[in-house]
Amino acid sequence: MKIFSSLLIISRPIPKEPVPFKEMLPLKLRATVSGKGGKSSDVCCIHEMSVMFACFKENEFNQDLCSKEVEKFQMCYKDNLKTSKTKKEREAKGVLTPGEKKLSHKQLNVLLKKFPNVK
Partner 1 sequence: MFGITKIQFFNSNLKVLSTIIQQNGMSQYPNYYIKPIYKKDSQEELIKSGEIKKLSHLPTRAALADQTSSFSNDPLANLLINYCMREGNKILARNLVEQCFENIKRLQLEKYHKTTNEEDKHQIDLDPKSILHKAIENCKPILQLTPIKRGGVRYQVPVPITDKKAQFISMKWLIAAGQEKESTVRFNLQLARELIDAANNTGRVIKKKQDLHRQCEANRAYAHYRWS
CA distances from 105 to 41, 45, 115 (A): 17, 27, 15
103, 81, 106, 82: which is closest to 92 by C-alpha?
A: 106
Alpha-carbon distance 83 to 85, whole Å?
A: 5
Task: Count Cα neighbours of 29 within 13 Å in the Cβ-side half-sphere.
Answer: 11
Among 33, 77, 87, 105, indicate the residue that binds partner 1 (CB under 8 A): 77
DSSP code for 100: -
67 counts as binding partner 1 under rule CB under 8 A: no
Residues 2-41 that bind partner 1 (CB under 8 A): 39, 41
- Cβ at position 7, least distance to partner 1 in Å: 53
Residue 85 touches partner 1, criterion: CB under 8 A: no
Q: Which of 57, 85, 88, 93 binds partner 1 (CB under 8 A)?
A: 57
Taking CB under 8 A as the rule, does residue 70 contact partner 1?
yes
Which residue type occupies 44? C
Q: Does the protein bind partner 1 through residue 55 (CB under 8 A)? A: no
The residue ranges that bind partner 1 (CB under 8 A) are 39, 41-43, 45-46, 49-50, 52-53, 56-57, 61, 63-64, 70, 73-74, 77, 81
